[in-house]
A and B are shown apart, each in its own frame.
Chain A
Amino acid sequence: MAEASANGPAVLRGRHDFPEISGRIGSIVLDGRLPRHFWTAFFLCFLLVLLFLYSITYLISVGVGAYGIDIPVAWGTMISNFVWWIGIGHAGTLISAVLLLLRQPWRASINRFAEAMTLFAVAMAGLFPILHLGRPWFFYWLLPLPNVHMHWPQWRSPLVWDFAAIATYATVSLLFWYMGLLPDLAVLRDRARSRPAQLFYGILALGWRGSAYHWARYQVVYFLLAALATPLVVSVHSIVSLDFTFAITPGYHSTIFPPYFVAGALLSGFAMVLTIAIPLRWAFSVKDLITVRHMENAAKLMIAAGMIVVYGYVSEAFFAWYSGESYERAMMVQRAIGPYAPLFWTMLSLNCGLLQLLWFRRIRRNMPLLFVIAIAINVGMWIERYVIVVTAPSRDYLPSAWGEQSLTWLDFGILFGSIGTFFALVFLFIRILPAITIFEVEELAEEEGKLR
C-alpha cells in the first residue's frame, strides 16, 4: 500500500479499471459459475429452511404451549430471537447511512451486502412477534384498522409502538437498499448476454441511464434516505427495549436499556457482518476489494459498541444495588447464582471477556480468528437476550410463583430454522444481485487513483 489517500491507508489494493471491476463483480451474478462449496452451503441452509417451515406449521397448528414458555415466564425464545435479529439488522443501516453521511469511503465494498443482511435480518425479526402470539391469525388487531368492533389498539402499550417501529425500519431499509442497487442493476442489464437476464435486470433498473439528471436525483434521494435511516438505527432498538423497560418486573424496569440495546445491536450487527464478509471475500477472491482494512474497521466498531454493552451490564448491576430495591437486588443475585447462572456467566465471558481480544491489532488482522470471535459474539448476544427475557419474570415478586422454563425442540427448531433461512436468502442475494457495489468501488478506485 504505497500511496495514502485522504483518510488513512488505502482501502483497495492493486490496480483496477472500470470494465475489470464491473466485469469481475458482475460475472459472479451473470455467468453464475459459482464454486461447488457455494451450492453445498446453500443446500445445507435450505434444509434448515425446511426445518423452519415445519416448526412454524407445528407451532401454529398445536399452539404456543409447544415451546418452552409457562407461567411465570410467559415470554421465551420467540422474543429473544426477535430482539437478536433486529439487533443484527442494525449494522447494515449504520454502515450504509451513517458512514455515507460521515463520508467514510471504506464502506463502499461492504455496504451492499451489509444492507441486504439488514433486510433479511429484519425480515426474520418481523416474523417472531407474530409467532409469539397465542392467536397469530389475529396479529392485525395491532393495527388501527376500521373494524366492526369499534375497537382500536391500546396506544399505551409498547407492543403497538414496536409494530410501527419495525414496519418503518423495514420499509426505509428496503428503499435505501433498492435505491443503491439501481446503477448496478443498470450495469448488469447492459452486461447481460441472455434476453431473460436483460429483461429481469432491465425491469429492476427502472430505466436507469446514468445521465447527469439521474445521478443528480440519485444523489439527493440517496442522501435523504440516509438521513432518514440514521435516526432509525437509534430509534428501532430503543423502542424494542421499551417492551421491557415499560414493565414493572424487576430486571426489565431499567432506564439503561435503550442505549444498552442499541449498542448491543451494533455489536451483534458487526459480528454478523464479519461472519458473512470473511467467507465471502475468500470464496469469491475479492480480497483486494473487501480488504483487511474493512474487517479491521468492523472489528474496531465491535469493540466500541461492545464496551458500551459492558457498561450496560455494569450499570444494571450497580443500580440494582444502589437503588436499594430489594426485589431488583434479589433478581440480580438470582441471575448470578440462580438456575440461569450458567447462561449468565457464558454471556459475560463471551460479550465482555472474549471481546477484549479485539484490542490487539494482530488478532484483528487474523481472519480465521476474527471469524471465530464474531461467531462467538453472535452466540453471546443471543444468550444475553434470552437471559434478559427469562431471568426477570422467573424470579419476581412472589416466591410462590417462581419458576423456570424448560425449552423444547421447537425453540431450537425455530431459532436454527431462522438462521438457515437468513443465510439461504444471503446466498440467493449473492447469486442474483451484485454483492459489492460496482459503481462505488469504481468511484473509490478513481478517488484513490488506482485506475490503470
Chain B
Amino acid sequence: MAKVPLGVVNSEVAFSRIGEGMPQIFSKNANGVARFVIWGSCAVLLIAAAIGIILPRSDLVMGVGEPLAQPVPFSHKHHVGQLGIDCRYCHNGVETSSSAGLPATEVCMTCHSQLFTNADMLAPVRASLANGKPIEWQRVNSVPDFVFFNHAIHINKGVACETCHGEVDEMPLTRRAHTLSMEWCLGCHRNPQSNLRPPQDVFLMHWQPPEDIADIRRKLIGMLDIHPETMTDCYVCHR
C-alpha cells in the first residue's frame, strides 16, 4: 500500500487524543519558568567556568602577600632595608647550594649578643642558643615536594633574589611575593631574557635597568650560556 507521510498520520493521531478534555496541569507562566531555568543554568555554567579559571591564579588562593606569624617577628625591612645587610650574610648557601639556607642561631647572635641583648622579642633566639633547640620558622615561599628548585643556578645566571622574592626590604614580616605556580615559573623558563640582570647585581634591591638593558640581556644569554629551549624539559624541575 502507498505510504502515508508520517507527519500527517501522527498529527491526526495526536489531535485525536486532545479533546479528552482535561484540566491544564501547568499554568501559563510555566513557560517563563522553563525558559528561566534553561538560560539560568547556562549562565551558572559560564560563571562557574570563569571562577574555575581565575581562582587558581589569584593571589588570594596562593597566599601571596600574607605575612606569616613567626616565632621571632624578624623584619627584613629593618635588616635589609635599614641596615643594608647583604642577603648572603644569612642565606649563605644561595650561591653554591640548592637551598639558600636559613641563618643558624649563632649567626643571629653574632650581632644580637651585642645589640638588643635583652629584648623580649629575641628571647626565643637566646633560648635556642642556650638549649640548643633550633628556632622553628614558618615557611613562606614553598613549592611542592616534587619540585626540585635550585637557588645557586638562578643566582649564577643572573636571576635576582628580588625577581622571585619581591622587595623584601619593605617587608616588616616576610610574605610571599609571587604565586610560585608552575605557570609563573614557566613564564620565565620559556622566556628568561626579560628577567636577567648582570650577575653582579642580583643581590640589589630596587634595581633600575639601564636604558641599554635590552642588548645587555641579549649578550647575557650568550655569555652565561643560557639555552631557553632546554629550560622547559620536565626533569629540570621534576625528578
A residues adjacent to B (C-beta < 8 A): 5-6, 18, 22, 146-151, 183, 187, 189-190, 198-199, 202, 206-207, 209-212, 214-216, 218-219, 439, 442-443, 446-447, 449
Contact = CB atoms under 8 A, between A and B. Distances in A.
Sort chain B's interface into a size bin: 20 to 34
B13 A442 contact: yes
A148 B26 contact: no
B34 A206 contact: yes
B183 A443 contact: no
A215 B11 contact: yes
A443 B9 contact: yes
Given A5-B1, A6-B1, A199-B25, A207 B10 contact: no
B34 A207 contact: yes
A219 B16 contact: no
Nearest to B12: A446
A212 B56 contact: no
Contacts of A210: 10-11, 13-15, 17-18
B25 A148 contact: no
Contacts of A446: 4, 9, 13
Contacts of B183: 148-150
B223 interface: no
7 contacts: A148-B181, A150-B182, A189-B25, A202-B25, A207-B30, A219-B6, A446-B4
A198 B25 contact: yes
Contacts of B181: 148
Contacts of A211: 11, 14
B14 to A, nearest CB: 3
Determine the main DSSP class of A at the interface with B. helix
A22 B13 CA distance: 11
B232 to A, nearest CB: 9
A210 B13 CA distance: 8
B111 interface: no
A141 to B, nearest CB: 13
Contacts of A206: 34
B7 A212 contact: yes
B61 to A, nearest CB: 10
Interface string B172-209: 00000001011100100000000000000000000000
Contacts, number: 75
Nearest to B186: A150
B20 A148 contact: no
Interface in B1-48: 1, 3-4, 6-7, 9-11, 13-18, 20, 22, 25-26, 30-31, 34
A190 B17 contact: yes
Interface string B49-62: 00001001100000
A190 B13 contact: no
A252 B9 CA distance: 51
Contacts of A219: 6-7
Most buried by A among B17, B20, B179, B182: B17
Contacts of A148: 56-57, 179, 181-183
Contacts of A214: 14
A18 B31 CA distance: 29
A443 B18 contact: no
Determine the main DSSP class of B at the interface with A. helix
A328 to B, nearest CB: 34
B214 to A, nearest CB: 26
A449 B2 CA distance: 12
B13 to A, nearest CB: 6
Contacts of B25: 189, 198-199, 202
B27 to A, nearest CB: 12
Given A210-B18, A446-B13, 18 more contacts: A5-B1, A6-B1, A148-B56, A149-B182, A149-B183, A150-B182, A150-B186, A187-B17, A198-B25, A199-B25, A207-B34, A211-B11, A211-B14, A214-B14, A215-B10, A218-B10, A442-B13, A446-B9
A6 B1 CA distance: 6
Given A210-B15, A211-B11, A443 B1 contact: no
Contacts of A5: 1
B36 to A, nearest CB: 14
A447 B1 CA distance: 9
A159 B13 CA distance: 47
Contact of B20 (A183, A190, A447): A190
Contacts of A216: 7
Contacts of A449: 1
A199 B30 CA distance: 11
A20 B31 CA distance: 32
Contacts of A6: 1, 3
Contacts of B10: 183, 210, 215, 218, 439, 443
A219 B9 CA distance: 12
B34 A447 contact: no
Contacts of B15: 210
A183 to B, nearest CB: 7
A439 B11 CA distance: 11
B66 to A, nearest CB: 19
A4 to B, nearest CB: 10
Contacts of A147: 56
Contact of A207 (B14, B16, B22, B31): B31
Nearest to A205: B25
A164 B121 CA distance: 61
By Cβ-Cβ distance, the 7 closest A-B pairs, closest first, are A210-B14, A212-B11, A148-B181, A202-B25, A148-B183, A149-B182, A215-B11
A452 to B, nearest CB: 14
Most buried by A among B7, B22, B25, B34: B25
A238 B18 CA distance: 46
